Amino acid sequence: MKAILSLTFISFFILLIGCSTQSEKVDVEQEIEAILKQLTLKEKVDLCHAQSKFSTKGVARLGIPEIWMSDGPHGVRAEIAWDSWDQLGWTNDSCTAFPALTCLAASFNEKLSYKYGKAIGEEARYRKKEVLLAPGINIYRTPLNGRNFEYMGEDPYLASKMVVPYVKGVQGNGVAACVKHFALNNQEKWRGHINVNISERALREIYLPAHKASVIEGGAWAIMGAYNKFRGQHCCHNEELNNKILKGEWGFDGVVISDWGGVHDTKEAALYGMDMEMGTWTDGLHKTKYNAYDNYHLAMPFYEKIKNGEIDESVVDDKVRRILRLMYRTCLNKERPLGSFATQEHFNTAREIAQEGIVLLKNENNFFPINPEAKLKIAVIGHNATHPMTIGGGSSELKTHHEISPLEGIKARFKNAEILYSMGYSAGIGKWWTELPSPYNADSLKTEALKVAKEADLVLFIGGLNKNLHQDSEGTDRKSLNLSYGQDELIEELNKVNEKVGVILVTGNAVAMPWINQVDAVLQTWYLGSEAGNAIADVISGDVNPSGKLPFTFPVRLEDNGAISFGELSYPGDSINQYYKEDIYVGYRWHETKNIKPLFAFGFGLSYSDFEIKESKISKKQFSSGEKLIVNCTVSNTGTIDGAEVVQVYIGKVNSKVDRAVKELKGFKKVFVKGNNDELVSVTIDIDELAFWNEEIDGWELEKGEYFIAIGNSSDNISTQIPFEVN
């Protein structure tokens, strides 16, 4: 009888929160308190840990539902077995594979990020997931991190601006975004235990802003703790990160979910902010057969410690409140939309993001676009022309409805051309944890490719990295900045047999380009998902004018990267500790301060048209805290082809009392301009965004004095610089 009454009570309040006004939110909080009173200690503890690989228990007695989750971040992962990583082989779970988040970041288009979040959220909703384990926003610290492709680049401002709409788009579906990985999981090597030592200033200015934006502006309902340690404590139960900063300073009222197997201690997890422990078997790493989930740190050991008074019951109550709140936002929200899955609309969105994120790095002799009507002989060389990229790479792997390869896309668009394909080189047979040697003979592949290239009017080399071990893949880092499998040598030799060579790079990371002066063109195309080949063909045919900009620096040599330049203790560490010795000088901040010319700078990307950013003005010359600085300029498309340009606004401090990067991105806007036309652009900057983290006062300080604003279309191409003052 009591149970029936409770259920009616719950249902009543579920109806209320659908349309959530302030008073109804209060009602939800009251309802959470009412539920809490009815739960036994065991039921409370059961809500705090996994019951299977991707779900947690509900409370069957009270009709409180289970929570189901899925990766993230580029599509909704296939259904996975209860207790292992095997796919279940369902036939209804082939998703839309969206482009990798590096591509999204390269679009510099916040509206597109919302569209991405909305579409992937719809897919998660249709697949009955409460939590999407996405997006990933760890900062690009070195080009060796195997997981950079899942993140949004090297700049905290860009990542902050791009993460917020993604989170909002996902959550509009009544699906929680679980933003990951909090924090400092900037390499895969030793990710489970490496202890990150970093200055408070670098933490606050570089590594936390995107997380903060996702919580404060995006309203994220879940955050995933990272595997690594920070100042001696695992991030999943890190007092400073979770209690002080996330839940304290930022007022996060959602759920901190562990990375899979990232919890190592019951008491720390209980007290230092971990709300929900996920993993595999007992601790995510080791296999036991009997009642495995009961052995989780936040399962029976947690229960016992509460029972014997070592941990106060209020600790589990706080976690349960958060978890119930997550339910009211997701599975207990009767108003949430129904979602949709693998629709044409989603494939179109994936293609649009891919088109906008592709970056044209070099284009001599107008190599691109290639006239799709011309009767040309085109040699397409390279394994990445056909290699599926949605498979592998770790937890972001996808089972997709379709993946158009670059070769298929090119063949479909260039119907009048004769397309000659030759593999040229071959990756090994890979999984993300192992790579077996290729079954092909490297010399024969090369000989054949050179023969094909010689006969052709032009060569498209399609190579780069892939989702195998030590490439762009979770769990391991890359070993070198150079391309593997003899690609660098092959590109050089292709140049000797054909004068016209364009390189199409499929990677999620910067690579060295020793052949850059020999080839005509380079197109950086990331991992583009289901519509990869179509989007690449759209750009190389000129159907779409490229407008992507690099979200991270391409160094000439590995040693030019700040973190790497400080040697092993800085990256990858000594297997116990590492020290972020480059401090705040990450990416272009390092290159500009040290005067190290990059191969391609942050924010760089060409177009088939020419743009001029002119008549830049700022609203006034003196500002104080709380004010906004408005930059107005005109973007002229001086060519005949319609296209888009990204106005980038950087700010630097003259004679600062603290070390500062030469300049930092503080605003941007992407604008579409028709050929031979102008558009007026206005970018607003919050003056308080110019503050630096002052370690002496342990807080933000807006330094007074002289600053300059630098407006351009790349960090290394500034058209106007204007001084101003803060007082």
- Between the two ends of the chain, the Cα-to-Cα distance in Å is 68
Nearest residue relative to ligand BGC (C-beta): 395
Q: Measured from the CB atom, is 476 or 713 closer to ligand BGC?
A: 476
Question: Which 377-406 residues touch ligand BGC, going by CB under 6 A?
Answer: 395
Rounded Cα distance between 591 and 604, Å, is 14
For residues 37 and 352, the answer to whether their CB atoms sit within 8 Å is no
- Binding to ligand BGC by residue 531, rule CB under 6 A? no
The one catalytic residue among 46, 71, 259, 538: 259
Longest dimension (CA), the chain: 84
Single-letter residue type at 37: K
Among 64, 133, 137, 208, binds ligand BGC (CB under 6 A): 133
For residues 296 and 277, the answer to whether their CB atoms sit within 8 Å is yes
Question: Is the omega angle on the peptide bond into residue 72 within 30 degrees of 0, that is, cis?
Answer: yes
- For the question of residue 259 being annotated catalytic, the response is yes
Min CB(135)–ligand BGC separation in Å: 10
Q: Measured from the CB atom, is 259 or 352 closer to ligand BGC?
A: 259
Q: Residue 429 pairs with which residues in a beta bridge? A: 436
- Binding to ligand BGC by residue 188, rule CB under 6 A? no
In a 3-state reduction of DSSP, which class is residue 249?
helix
In a 3-state reduction of DSSP, which class is residue 49?
strand
- The site string for ligand BGC over 24-53 (x = CB under 6 A, - otherwise) reads ------------------------------
Please work out the total of residues on this chain that contact ligand BGC, with binding judged by CB under 6 A.
7
Q: Measured from the CB atom, is 259 or 560 closer to ligand BGC?
A: 259
Angle, helices 110-126/156-171, rounded to nearest 10 degrees? 40
- Binding to ligand BGC by residue 55, rule CB under 6 A? no
Min CB(127)–ligand BGC separation in Å: 15
Joined together, the tokens standing for residue 298 give 């936040």
Distances from the Cα of 569 to the Cαs of 184, 193, 195, 201, 565, in angstroms?
16, 15, 11, 19, 10
Rounded Cα distance between 179 and 133, Å, is 7
Give me the sheet containing 677-686, strands edge to edge: 611-618, 628-637, 677-686
Q: Measured from the CB atom, is 31 or 474 closer to ligand BGC?
A: 474
Q: Measured from the CB atom, is 241 or 453 closer to ligand BGC?
A: 241
Q: Measured from the CB atom, is 116 or 367 closer to ligand BGC?
A: 116
Contacts 24+ apart (CB under 8 A), 317-322: 317/36, 317/44, 319/44, 319/47, 319/48, 319/255, 319/275, 319/276, 320/36, 320/39, 320/44, 320/47, 320/48, 321/32, 321/33, 321/36, 322/253, 322/254, 322/255, 322/275
- Binding to ligand BGC by residue 180, rule CB under 6 A? yes
Min CB(145)–ligand BGC separation in Å: 13
Q: Measured from the CB atom, is 284 or 406 closer to ligand BGC?
A: 284
Min CB(312)–ligand BGC separation in Å: 30
Q: Which residue has the tokens 């095997």?
A: 86
DSSP 595-637: T---SB-TT--B-SS-EEEEEEEES-SEE-TT-EEEEEEEEEE
* DSSP 8-state symbol, 582: T
Min CB(220)–ligand BGC separation in Å: 15
- Binding to ligand BGC by residue 71, rule CB under 6 A? yes
In a 3-state reduction of DSSP, which class is residue 265?
coil
φ, ψ of residue 541 in degrees (nearest 5) = -85, -15
Distances from the Cα of 259 to the Cαs of 171, 179, 228, 577, 671, in angstroms?
20, 11, 10, 20, 38
Q: Measured from the CB atom, is 259 or 664 closer to ligand BGC?
A: 259
Q: Which residue has the tokens 């994936």?
A: 350
Single-letter residue type at 590: W
For residues 51 and 60, the answer to whether their CB atoms sit within 8 Å is no
- The site string for ligand BGC over 242-261 (x = CB under 6 A, - otherwise) reads -----------------xx-
Rounded Cα distance between 399 and 71, Å, is 12
Q: Measured from the CB atom, is 6 or 70 closer to ligand BGC?
A: 70
Single-letter residue type at 17: I
Rounded Cα distance between 47 and 281, Å, is 17
Min CB(261)–ligand BGC separation in Å: 7
Q: Measured from the CB atom, is 145 or 648 closer to ligand BGC?
A: 145
Q: Measured from the CB atom, is 157 or 260 closer to ligand BGC?
A: 260
| 23: CB partners within 8 A, 6+ apart | none
In a 3-state reduction of DSSP, which class is residue 659?
coil
Give the CB-side neighbour count of residue 320, counting CA atoms within 13 A.
26
Q: Residue 419 pairs with which residues in a beta bridge? A: 378
Q: Measured from the CB atom, is 171 or 487 closer to ligand BGC?
A: 171
Do β-strands 435-436 and 429-430 pair in parallel, antiparallel, or remain unpaired? Answer: antiparallel
Min CB(524)–ligand BGC separation in Å: 24
For residues 213 and 160, the answer to whether their CB atoms sit within 8 Å is yes
Min CB(307)–ligand BGC separation in Å: 31
Q: Measured from the CB atom, is 169 or 393 closer to ligand BGC?
A: 393
Rounded Cα distance between 516 and 678, Å, is 33
**Catalytic residue numbers?**
259
Binding stretches for ligand BGC (CB under 6 A): 71-72, 133, 180, 259-260, 395
